[in-house]
């Protein structure tokens, strides 16, 4: 039996015990969704794994947790293992699943190559001495920047859509999406409903924390969206668009710094280390893009402005190139599961 089968078998074992207990009822959507199925199958466990927001309230509350109790329950860890398996099972094209299996190597290598190519581009085309004195629009013309940006956006959206379609085919069980499910899914994703642990908050990075993880995750998401929209106004990097981009970069920097802090101090036993290993390198990459984005307005007029801008753009390109083969698959699968859960809820009520 391979590792994926072991992970699925263990998740079904633990969830079956939980389904009889119901002690964590109301903590998040996972516990309500679990009640919809008397017998859990592989597709539905995939759905539950991505519906889980890893707040770990259930681990803190469970009286049957490992290593003390013979049931050895650790739902966040079990679902985290399956969640990573759903990414590798649905990544497209399939041969690129190695990027998910070797995240440190792929993220580091891609970043080094991108920055090296950017430096070579500047050196060979403009010369090292002259490069820092040129207007940024000469180095990266608007006629080049916008088409490349659009292509990158489309590339990411298309692959995400294919991967999302593959994931949906495994979990839908002939379910029907309704308008309520779609709207409520969007609401839950934007407002991080399931990070609230049914009102008790998220027990990450420690049991006394409530909304720290929700806050930093929200900063990353909102900052990324703001930066994504404002960069479309390039070459306006000084006016309102530039100010918005700075704010977005600050939000990304603070949010990712918070996530890295969580990674360093959190209780390791309650989380899938496979998930953690995948999250960490991509979070650091996002942190670097945020910091270099913050430096852009600070460095205007200096000799290193162009270098920072070029390196920042190189790192952003890596973020988009790796998005479908990294931690950044999770928003798509989680969003699909939120829509399914809310649609299933509405269909059962009707």
CA-CA distance, 222 to 191, in Å (whole number)?
10
Query: Which pLDDT value is given to residue 107?
Result: 97
Q: Are residues 169 and 290 in the same domain?
A: yes
Query: Structural domain of residue 248, as residue ranges?
Result: 92-349
State yes or no: pLDDT of 273 exceeds 90.
no
Compute how many other C-beta atoms are within 10 angstroms of the C-beta atom of residue 128.
11
Total-model pTM: 0.92
Q: Are residues 175 and 216 in the same domain?
A: yes
Q: Are residues 100 and 75 in the same domain?
A: no
Q: Are residues 27 and 132 in the same domain?
A: no
Q: Are residues 230 and 242 in the same domain?
A: yes
| Average pLDDT of the residues of the chain | 90
Per-residue b/e over 178-204, b at no fewer than 16 CB within 10 Å? bebbeebbeebbeebbbbbbbeebbbb
Query: Which pLDDT value is given to residue 236?
Result: 81
Tens digit of each residue's pLDDT (9 = 90 or more) over 224-255? 999 999 988 888 877 888 899 999 999 999 99
State yes or no: pLDDT of 346 exceeds 90.
no
Nearest to 296 by CA among 309, 283, 307: 309
Q: What percent of the chain has pLDDT over 90?
A: 60
CA-CA distance, 326 to 323, in Å (whole number)?
6
Query: Which tokens in the block code for residue 167?
Result: 């994931």
Q: Are residues 172 and 261 in the same domain?
A: yes
Question: Which sign does the torsion angle of CA 263, 278, 75, 211 carry?
Answer: positive
State yes or no: pLDDT of 58 exceeds 60.
yes
Number of domains in the chain: 2
Question: Which sign does the torsion angle of CA 51, 1, 94, 289 carry?
Answer: positive
Query: Which pLDDT value is given to residue 1?
Result: 53
Q: Are residues 162 and 70 in the same domain?
A: no
Query: Which pLDDT value is given to residue 303?
Result: 85
Listed residues 88, 115, 135: the one ending a domain = 88
Q: Are residues 103 and 79 in the same domain?
A: no
Q: Are residues 66 and 115 in the same domain?
A: no
Assess contact for 209 and 197: CB atoms under 8 A.
no
Listed residues 49, 70, 88: the one ending a domain = 88
Q: Are residues 280 and 305 in the same domain?
A: yes
Q: Are residues 63 and 122 in the same domain?
A: no
Q: Are residues 11 and 77 in the same domain?
A: yes
State yes or no: pLDDT of 191 exceeds 70.
yes
Tens digit of each residue's pLDDT (9 = 90 or more) over 30-49? 999 998 888 889 999 999 99
Listed residues 88, 118, 138: the one ending a domain = 88
């Amino acid at each position: 039996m391979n590792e994926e089968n072991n992970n699925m078998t263990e998740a079904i074992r633990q969830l079956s015990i939980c389904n009889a207990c119901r002690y964590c009822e109301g903590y998040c959507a996972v516990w309500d969704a679990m009640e919809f199925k008397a017998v859990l199958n592989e597709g539905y466990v995939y759905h539950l794994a991505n519906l889980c927001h890893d707040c770990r309230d259930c681990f803190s509350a469970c009286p049957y947790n490992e290593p003390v109790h013979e049931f050895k329950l650790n739902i966040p860890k079990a679902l985290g293992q399956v969640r990573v398996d759903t990414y590798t099972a649905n990544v497209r094209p399939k041969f690129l699943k190695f990027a998910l299996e070797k995240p440190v190597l792929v993220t580091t290598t891609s970043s080094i190559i991108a920055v090296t190519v950017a430096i070579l581009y500047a050196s060979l085309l403009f010369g090292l001495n002259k490069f820092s004195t040129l207007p940024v629009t000469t180095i990266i013309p608007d006629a080049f920047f916008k088409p490349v940006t659009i292509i990158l956006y489309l590339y990411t959206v298309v692959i995400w859509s294919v991967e999302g379609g593959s994931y949906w085919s495994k979990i839908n069980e002939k379910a029907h999406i309704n308008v309520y499910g779609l709207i409520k899914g969007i609401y839950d994703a934007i407002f991080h409903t399931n990070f609230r642990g049914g009102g008790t908050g998220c027990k990450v990075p420690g049991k006394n924390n409530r909304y720290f993880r929700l806050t930093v995750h929200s900063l990353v998401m909102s900052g990324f969206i703001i930066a994504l929209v404002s960069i479309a106004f390039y070459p306006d990097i000084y006016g309102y668009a530039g100010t918005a981009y700075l704010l977005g970069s600050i939000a990304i920097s603070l949010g990712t710094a918070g996530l890295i802090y969580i990674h360093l101090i959190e209780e390791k036993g309650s989380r899938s280390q496979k998930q953690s290993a995948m999250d960490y390198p991509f979070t650091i990459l996002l942190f670097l893009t945020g910091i270099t984005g913050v430096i852009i307005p600070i460095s205007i007029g200096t000799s290193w402005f162009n270098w920072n801008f070029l390196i920042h753009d190189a790192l952003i390109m890596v973020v988009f190139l790796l998005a479908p083969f990294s931690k950044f698959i999770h928003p798509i699968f989680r969003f699909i599961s939120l829509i399914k859960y809310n649609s299933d809820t509405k269909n059962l009520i009707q």
